């Protein structure tokens, strides 16, 4: 305890002039307009990655992003193509057989029609012949005409039979063609290319049962795999405690610093605040307000999705204000103030205590004082 008091006694702070009052929060860089790349949507198929582009690679439209093993798909395509060729050959045989059958029936009809004409000629020439001979010729003519009608009916029925045979084989051909098209489309889908230029980012794994994306991984259908964000439209997503909700509003300016580039400050503004709070996570009862900061920057390759960011939201523009750490505040007899290293108490007109800082209006000469911390910080 003595050592702690000694260290505290050696520590002091000086008021700092401030032009703005800020609220500091943390968040994550994201793109408000990303193109998501998913695994193929065909089911009952195993998707195993044999090539995966490295995260952070800048790609052009058409560059290969992912390749899946297509050996089984190629074998299935070959079988479907063989089946299609088999049906096409069957169609050729059936078509030839049908043509021969129709030609034979037509030849019979033509022969019968010639027979009818010949019989009619005989009948005309037999006008002076006996009645019995005329009767016999007429009977032959009747038989020939009956045979002709029968042959014509046979031709019509055979055409219907042939049409059904062709429809049946064509149905098989259509089915086989669909299978060929399906397997060809599947093979094409097993190589995924970039739909546009941009930076490749791996999709966050939301399912704990799924392994991290890597070469050799077996992937379920229609699973989000990669993102190509629009680097000209980047945002910071974060959440705000309920107690701080009243302090911010849409349009307020913000400054963003990335953990990966601490020496660079980006500017932005508050573009969205959720109208309703939600639970911070499934295990917490704490409610927060999700919000977004639009980064006012052109395309910048340092603004990669997933990077951690520190946000300072400018709550108010201050004129003639100073700030000190909130642990320098004393509250004797309900009066807020500070103590100098000489033991002098200085009362302050405190504006607000926020993020570990106390903001107050300027008092002449206070900037020259060295202020000591309060070992018993009052309840504000």
Per-residue burial over 354-366, b if 16 or more Cβ lie within 10 Å, else e, is: beebbbbeeeeeb
Which pLDDT value is given to residue 332?
A: 83
Which pLDDT value is given to residue 343?
A: 85
Non-local (6+) Cβ contacts of 24 within 8 A are: 310, 311, 312, 313, 355
Q: Which CATH architecture does the domain made up of 8-31+230-368 adopt?
A: Beta Barrel (2.40)
β-strands 308-325, 357-361: how paired?
antiparallel
Distance between CA 131 and CA 105 in Å, rounded?
Answer: 35
The domain made up of 40-68+191-228 has a fold known as: OB fold (Dihydrolipoamide Acetyltransferase, E2P) (2.40.50)
Which pLDDT value is given to residue 8?
A: 43
Which pLDDT value is given to residue 279?
A: 84
pLDDT under 70 in the chain at which residues? 1-10, 205-211, 317-319, 351, 379-380
Which pLDDT value is given to residue 206?
A: 54
Scanning the structure block, which residue is given the tokens 């003595």? Answer: 2
Q: Are 345 and 328 in contact (CB under 8 A)?
A: no
């Amino acid at each position: 305890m003595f050592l702690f008091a000694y260290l505290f006694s050696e520590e002091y702070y000086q008021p700092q002039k401030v032009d703005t009052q800020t609220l500091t929060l943390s968040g994550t860089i994201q793109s408000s307009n990303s193109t998501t790349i998913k695994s193929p949507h065909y089911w009952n198929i195993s998707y195993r990655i044999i090539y995966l582009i490295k995260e952070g690679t800048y790609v052009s439209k058409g560059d290969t992003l992912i390749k899946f093993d297509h050996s089984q798909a190629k074998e299935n395509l070959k079988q479907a193509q063989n089946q299609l060729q088999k049906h096409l050959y069957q169609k050729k045989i059936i078509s030839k057989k049908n043509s021969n059958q129709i030609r034979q029936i037509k030849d019979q009809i033509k022969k019968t029609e010639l027979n009818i004409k010949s019989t009619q000629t005989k009948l005309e020439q037999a006008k002076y012949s006996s009645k019995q001979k005329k009767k016999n010729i007429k009977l032959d003519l009747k038989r020939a005409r009956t045979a002709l009608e029968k042959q014509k009916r046979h031709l019509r029925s055979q055409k219907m039979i042939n049409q059904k045979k062709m429809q049946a084989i064509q149905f098989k051909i259509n089915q086989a063609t669909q299978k060929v098209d399906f397997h060809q489309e599947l093979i094409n889908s097993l190589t995924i290319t970039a739909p546009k230029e941009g930076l490749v980012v791996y999709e966050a794994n939301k399912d704990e049962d799924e392994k991290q994306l890597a070469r050799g991984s077996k992937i379920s259908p229609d699973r989000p795999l990669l993102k190509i964000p629009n680097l000209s439209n980047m945002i910071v997503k974060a959440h705000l405690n309920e107690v701080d909700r009243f302090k911010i509003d849409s349009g307020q300016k913000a400054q963003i610093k990335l953990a990966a580039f601490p020496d660079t400050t980006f500017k932005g503004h508050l573009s969205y605040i959720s109208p309703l709070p939600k639970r911070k996570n499934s295990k917490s009862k704490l409610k927060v307000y999700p919000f977004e900061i639009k980064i006012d920057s052109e395309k910048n390759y340092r603004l990669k999705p997933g990077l951690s960011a520190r946000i300072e939201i400018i709550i108010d523009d201050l004129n003639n204000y100073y700030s000190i750490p909130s642990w320098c505040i004393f509250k004797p007899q309900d009066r807020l103030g500070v103590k100098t290293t000489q033991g002098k108490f200085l009362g302050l007109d405190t504006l607000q205590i926020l993020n570990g800082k106390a903001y107050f209006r300027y008092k002449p000469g206070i900037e020259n004082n060295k202020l000591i911390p309060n070992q018993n910080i009052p309840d504000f």
